[in-house]
Amino acid sequence: MGLMDAKEYDPRPAERIKRLLLIGVPLLIAVLIFIWKFWYWPEEHVVNNFFTAIEAKNFDQAYALYNSDPAWKQHPEKYKDYTYNQFALDWGPSGDYGPITTHRVECSTELPKKDYQSASGVIVVVRINNRAETKSLWVEKKSKTISLSPREAIC
């Protein structure tokens, strides 16, 4: 086969690769941004439900979400370190924030791995009653229990 006997150039495979790249790369970037944006969504959702219950003055449900135990009334002795009465004082109308009427989840983050290798939760930062300062809550990844964050996070 000589040089003049070569097949005629077919541009279709090159166009197909170009089309795949033009569609695939932006799609991959969009998926990565989506994953990054919603990486801590389960923990944010728990905190959002917690504050929604507090705003509705449903402290029983809020305490259940705080402890991740819907049946907490069957064994209140399990929560003697942070009783329902103390919880109601802290998060109720007489708490630091007064009656909680609004909240907004600002952001969420993990503790730096270099400082906390065994961190098992996520810090969720919430703005309560449109105050200037925010509140950082700790949400365990597996159990979804809520507690005060070991350190404040900044969004």
User: What is the chain's mean pLDDT, rounded?
Assistant: 90
Residues 27 and 67 both lie in one domain: no
The helix/strand/coil state of 104 is strand
Tokens of 20: 């795949």
Residues 102 and 72 both lie in one domain: yes
Q: What is the model's pTM? A: 0.79
Residues 138 and 119 both lie in one domain: yes
Residues 95 and 54 both lie in one domain: yes
**How crowded is residue 122: how many other Cβ atoms within 10 Å of its Cβ?**
23
Q: Where does the pLDDT of residue 115 fall: very low under 50, low under 70, confident under 90, or very high at 90 and above?
A: low
Provide the residue range defining the domain that includes 129.
41-148
Q: Is 110 part of any domain? A: yes
Report, as an integer, the average pLDDT of 9-15: 84
The pLDDT assigned to 93 comes to 93
SS3 of the chain: helix, strand, coil, percent, to 5: 45, 15, 40
Residues 105 and 29 both lie in one domain: no
The count of domains in the chain is 2
The pLDDT assigned to 3 comes to 62
The pLDDT assigned to 99 comes to 95
The pLDDT assigned to 116 comes to 56
Q: Is 54 part of any domain? A: yes
d(CA 65, CA 75): 15
Residues 91 and 132 both lie in one domain: yes
| Helix ranges restricted to H, 38-154 | 41-55, 59-67, 84-91
Count of helix runs (H) and strand runs (E) in the chain: 4, 4
